[in-house]
Amino acid sequence: MKRKLLQSNAFIRSAKRIVRKDPQIADEIRRVLRLLSEDAFHPYLKTHKLKGFSGGSWACRAGYDLRIIFDFVQHEGSDAILLAMIGTHDQVY
């Protein structure tokens, strides 16, 4: 089941910052977002539920040390994914 991806302002800002530092990562981010939309639990993504202060949110990998934090939400009556943040492991956890 394909889900719509919704981007928070924080996700947009952090993604722009990451791509500005390393323009070649943009293709990998696009590929991961497409995969996340199609199958949020694809083995490549290593999707896992977060604990602690981010409890209820989920994370997946978007490269060696790049993680995407997101939530499953409803949007206009359909399942969607709200992209909350993208960054290195240390930045998002």
Q: What is the Cα–Cα distance from 56 to 22, expressed in whole angstroms?
A: 30
Residue 89 has pLDDT above 90, yes or no: no
**CATH class of residue range 4-92:** alpha beta
Q: What is the pLDDT of residues 8-38, one digit of tens each?
A: 999 999 999 999 999 999 999 999 999 999 9
Q: What is the Cα–Cα distance from 29 to 55, expressed in whole angstroms?
A: 24
CB 32 within 8 A of CB 47: no
pTM: 0.91
What DSSP string describes 9-35?
A: HHHHHHHHHHHHH-TTHHHHHHHHHHH
CA geometry: angle 40, 32, 10, nearest 5 deg: 90
56: nearest Cα among 82, 88, 87, 89: 82
